[in-house]
Amino acid sequence: MTGSDSIASAAAGMRLTKFGHAAVRVEKDGRTLVIDPGTLSEPEALDGADAVLVTHEHFDHFDEERLRTAAENNPALRIWTNPDVAGRLEGLGAGRVHTVTHGDTFTAAGFDVEVHGEWHAPIHPELPSVHNIGFVVDGELFYPGDAFTLPERKIGTLLLLSHAPWANSTQIFDYARAVGATRAFNTHDGLLNDAGRGIVGGFFDRLVPGLAYTKLATGESADI
């Protein structure tokens, strides 16, 4: 994936590239940050990554084997995630995996990152809850993972899920309203076909006034 297609927007120095389902790459000043490269995303999402952020342990966001291989192939690669995921990455070496929780701030590959949230959205009362953290990148871009976390700050760009077994369309649209971002890009859409993606995207102009929603194809990029 090269992400050669670009959608123009107000430049803040970052380029976002969508990969399959939940993975995204964020690039700035020759540095690359990858968020949630799970098993439903292309392996190329991790190519040349300087840092990786993982919101939670579910397979569509976290592929332990693939991430270990990337870390072994690139000794400079660093990973930030919650304690549960960090525990599964033991043995990569001192200082390679960083445990973070709600309220923490850090710098990863030159990006300033804030951690917001603690828990995955409920799926079913009979299924166990797992930890989930969201990330605000450079004070502009928010990736909540699998949760409807409201960031404790104003943000301009939201990575917004399109579909999940734990969410319905009313929740998604109301969440976009509550966050109050001025633009959003699609994520978490690997279980939808093209018709489903189009239906979800078609409602935003009507239901979330003031939000510029853009549906990126896999491999497509946008400057933010």
Please give the pLDDT value at position 197: 73
Predicted confidence band of residue 201 (pLDDT cuts 50, 70, 90):
confident
Give the residue among 33, 56, 59 at the shortest CA–CA distance from 46.
Answer: 33
Instruction: Please report which residue ranges of the chain form alpha helices under DSSP H.
Output: 64-73, 83-88, 169-179, 194-202, 204-207
Antiparallel, parallel or unpaired: β 51-54 and 221-223: unpaired
Please give the pLDDT value at position 12: 52
Predicted confidence band of residue 198 (pLDDT cuts 50, 70, 90):
confident
Predicted confidence band of residue 203 (pLDDT cuts 50, 70, 90):
confident
What global pTM score does this model have? 0.91
Q: Tell me whether residue 128 is exposed, middle or buried, using C-beta atoms within 10 angstroms of its C-beta: 0 to 12, 13 to 18, 19 or more.
A: exposed
Average pLDDT, the chain: 91
Q: What is the mean pLDDT of residues 105-133?
A: 96
Antiparallel, parallel or unpaired: β 134-137 and 221-223: unpaired
Predicted confidence band of residue 193 (pLDDT cuts 50, 70, 90):
confident
Q: How far apart are CA 197 and CA 186, in angstroms?
A: 9
Residues of the chain above pLDDT 70, percent: 94
Residue-wise pLDDT tens digits, 120-177: 999 999 999 999 999 999 999 999 999 999 999 999 999 999 888 899 989 999 999 9
Give the residue among 62, 64, 32, 66 at the shortest CA–CA distance from 50.
Answer: 32
Domain boundaries, the chain: 6-223
Q: What is the mean pLDDT of residues 48-57?
A: 98
Q: What is the CATH number of domain 6-223?
A: 3.60.15.10
The answer to whether residue 3 scores a pLDDT higher than 70 is no
